[in-house]
Chain A
């Protein structure tokens, strides 16, 4: 089987190294370029824009907290995937529109890729309309499409441009890379129910204001304190939030994880929407369970058939939870594919279609794709 992509990796934060890698894949006959780079590279925007604008091939990708190469994660460096196929790249930049206008915008802009069925989606994680985008995109494309992707950006909320385009680095957009070849995907997380259910009695988008008519953080704190007998200290949230995410369970028993990222002492803000009247649970996991889940993700993909390029979007919060063991998880994903180089990024929120078909924004999850 001929490779679907040519992969060049550098662990250097240097822009020169990135340029070399790009030139190399161009010379090797790639038709387009997908870039995955680290936020710590701190590229000079002006210089990197010069590189991007000069690139003769269609170009896409994002800057992530970390990148993944051959079962290891890196805080610096870049992966240049020279795609041998000719994808159609659509940048959705008007995401600040009100919902009816957003729907019209997304539907009309997606017309040029409506015949495609396989997509990589990279979105600026700071864009609050990412999930609305996913809803409208799914509405237009329909069930039966295959999607993988994740949120780009930095964890410090710095509003820097993080999406690569031929016009330069841009912020606040969602990028859809429509591939003319099939993608297989597999998703998992390893989280299980700890406590609940609780009725979401007040919420708006990412913000969960009350559960069972009480302030969300009061309930959250009580459950954790009942198990850990810990006082409410300054780092209480930082310590426990990564261990106890919220989860919405579907009718068929699938858990949609919602990662709490901040609180004001009353509400919880999550990565992703939590609808009013939905039932939420507190979730828990362990390193072993998470690694087991990742192994299952890899095995599931292996069962699906031909493999070529392996692209992983693994949640950065799994890295926080697992610490140094994150490489064990990455190794567990790489090991069933000894002859294929696993590449990917640690993302802020993952994107994939669930088994029922709908495209969802996931948290604390592993999304593995092959094409």
Chain B
């Protein structure tokens, strides 16, 4: 009677632990603990069918070699060794699992393992020093049935929870992706625009000020071009981290576009002085953080930035207004160069509008053929014309001839410089064709044109020149291209490759403005250039300035040693000419000989 009651008591204690927790591990832990206490066992273990991620499953796989994996033990160890590492136990359990018995007792190393199947997906192993009576073993059968049912419930619950969790994670991921920049993890432009809209509303409601800082990485493109996008991406990530670290919780940061970042500052004081002081502090921190060289596995990189910012304190400016103004200020900061940051003011818009109008005018001029080529003849010491440099002139219908110093830099900001370059090339080739049809003196060699950095960087630069020459049916030797030292050094390997191709074709190259670019003389030897042009800076008053005399002398010697012809630009006085002759320079260009002249005048000059 007492034994029967005892067995019933044990059954009830164990059943009470089953289903108490929907978490399988917790439920089984409680069950195994009670097994240990009520059945006087040393250790109790559960082995279950598990998927490849070690998650228990209650459906038997079709794989006949399926093995049960250790899932839980109470206590976890025996003599200090983890039950999960007990291979003999795993073997005993798996052997039992594959046989047809519902219950079995195996003796192994002074322990008795009482084995019970949990449904068709698990085994309970009760380890004791003495055997469990048959009555208690049989009494455990209904307990095991309930354990199996409850375990299935827990496993299903777990997979449901996992599914919900996974779905939630996916939703969170989608939401994150919608609002964040994939590369840097910062907010993206769309999220920033929404936050800016809220900030503008809040400023109006709370009588505070906000600011948008637009940050552009200077010369970042060089890193992308030279080192590749993977390095550029690393740089952007590091800069993003530095920005994040610098502004911390003070501000919201986003990657706006390419290498532009945007910082939103909120709750700034209304007082302009206090507000500016805070903004300047933030800007100083950002500039400092960005200018620290970046250490990457590909090398050490230095980037700098320029910043434009706009403030807002009411709803008078829309999101787009604020962003546009910050962008204008950033552009002004870039143009001014020395200033790292500028606040927006309305004059900038006026200037920008003028700039845009001017750009439109250049476009129109190209369409209307308002550009002309003038030529500045080049002479030898015997006053023979040896060539001429084509120089662009814009005969503006309203303002007359514009200075190239005004429109060339503006054209260089956009692709207009390419269109202008294309015009110059075609026109020069056409003029050369006309020259070739005349009886030219032997001394006259060629017409030279200037090449911009953007032209040189274009992948089809060489082919464009060759095509122009071929289409015009001129001798390639009559065309010379002038490239400044600094443009050539931008991507020296590409320059060498392009110039070599042209050299093989017959188009020669001159190095323009030589002496100001401080290029590596080692590269000079590799360049297939035939002409060095001494910059006018060293020619002006060469007869008075000893250092200019020395430099010009060095350039002339250098050209000789490289078998290059040398020509002096900007010769305006006889004294300068005499000095150059003394130094061994026998080709000249400058007002002393001739101003740039229209093509028909050039023809006359050559005939003379």
Least Cβ–Cβ distance between A267 and chain B, in angstroms = 19
Verify B78–A251 contact, CB threshold 8 A: no
Q: Report Cα–Cα, A103/B41, bound state, in Å.
A: 21
| A275 cross-chain contacts in B, Cβ below 8 A | 13, 34, 37
- Is the CB–CB distance between A144 and B5 below 8 Å? no
* CB-based closest 8 A-B pairs: A142-B77, A277-B12, A144-B79, A143-B42, A357-B42, A142-B75, A277-B13, A279-B9
Do A251 and B42 touch across chains, with their CB atoms under 8 A apart?
A: no
Q: Chain A nearest CB: distance from B160 CB in Å?
A: 21
- Contact, CB under 8 Å: B5 / A251: no
* Chain B interfacial residues counted at CB < 8 A: 35
On whether the beta carbons of A100 and B26 are closer than 8 Å, the reply is yes
| CB of A328 closer than 8 Å to a CB of B | no
**Pairs across A and B, CB under 8 Å, 13 listed:** A117-B79, A135-B33, A141-B75, A142-B80, A144-B80, A197-B2, A197-B5, A275-B34, A276-B13, A278-B13, A357-B42, A358-B42, A358-B75
B39 contact set on A, CB distance < 8 A: 251
Cβ of A303 to closest chain B Cβ, rounded Å: 18
Residues of A with Cβ closer than 8 Å to B?
Answer: 100, 114-115, 117, 135, 138-144, 197, 199, 249-252, 254, 275-279, 354-358
- Kindly state the separation between the CA atoms of A114 and B82 in the bound complex, as whole angstroms: 11
Residues of chain A lying within 8 A (CB to CB) of residue B5: 197, 199, 279
List, in ascending order, chain B residues with CB within 8 A of A114's CB: 80
Contact B132 A199 (CB under 8 A): no
| Chain B residue nearest in CB terms to A196 | B2
Report B5-46 CB contacts with A as 1/0, cut-off 8 Å.
110011011001000000000100100011011111111000
Shortest CB-to-CB span from A223 to chain B, Å, is 16
Q: Decide if A277 touches B9 in the complex (CB within 8 Å).
A: yes
Given contacts A144-B79, A251-B38, 5 further A-B pairs with CB under 8 A are A135-B33, A197-B9, A278-B9, A279-B9, A356-B41
Question: With a CB–CB cut-off of 8 A, which chain B residues contact A143?
Answer: 42-43, 75, 77-79
Tell me, yes or no, whether B357 is within 8 Å of chain A by CB. Answer: no
| A358-B36 contact, Cβ under 8 Å, with A199-B5, A279-B9 | yes
Give the complex CA separation of A358 and B128 in angstroms: 11
A139-B74, A276-B13, A276-B16 as given contacts; A252 in contact with B40, CB under 8 Å: yes
B6 and A249: CB pair below 8 A? yes
CB of B13 within 8 A of CB of A356, answer: no
Q: Are A251 and B80 in contact (CB under 8 A)?
A: no
Check: B130 CB closer than 8 A to any chain A CB. yes
- Interchain CB contact under 8 A, B6 and A251: yes
Instruction: Knowing A199-B9, A277-B12, A279-B9, say if A356 contacts B2 (CB, 8 Å).
Output: no
Contact A140/B75 with A115-B80, A251-B132, A276-B16 known, Cβ cut-off 8 Å: yes
Cβ of B136 under 8 Å from chain A: yes
Interface hub of B10, B38, B39, B130 (most chain A Cβ within 10 A): B38
- Tell me whether B76 and A278 are in contact (CB under 8 A): no
Across the two chains, which residue of chain B brings its CB closest to A103?
Answer: B29
Determine if B129 is an interface residue (Cβ-Cβ < 8 Å).
yes
With the chains together, A349 CA to B232 CA distance in Å? 70
Q: Which of B66-88 contact A (CB under 8 A)?
A: 74-81, 83
A199, B12: Cα distance in complex, Å: 10
- Which among A139, A277, A358 has the highest number of chain B CB atoms within 10 Å? A277
- Quick check: A278 and B80 within 8 Å, CB to CB? no
A354 to B75, CA, bound (A): 14
Q: How far is the CA of A114 from the CA of B75 in the complex (A)?
A: 13
Tell me if A139 and B128 are in contact (CB < 8 A): no
Bound CA span A141–B77, Å: 6
Q: How far is the CB of B286 from chain A (nearest CB, A)?
A: 42
Q: Which residue in chain B gives the minimum CB-CB distance to A256?
A: B37
A252 to B136, CA, bound (A): 12
B13 and A140 within 8 A (CB): no
A251 and B40 contacting across the interface, CB-CB below 8 Å = yes
Knowing A142-B43, A358-B36, say if A252 contacts B130 (CB, 8 Å): yes
Q: How far is the CA of A356 from the CA of B111 in the complex (A)?
A: 11
CB distance from B477 to the nearest CB of A (A): 84
Scoring B residues 386 to 428 as 1 if CB is less than 8 Å from chain A, else 0, what string do you get? 0000000000000000000000000000000000000000000
Contact flags B341-359 to A (C-beta < 8 A → 1, else 0): 0000000000000000000
Do residues A142 and B76 form an inter-chain contact, with CB atoms below 8 A?
yes
| A358 CA to B33 CA, complexed, in Å | 10
Residue ID in chain A nearest B129 by CB atoms: A356
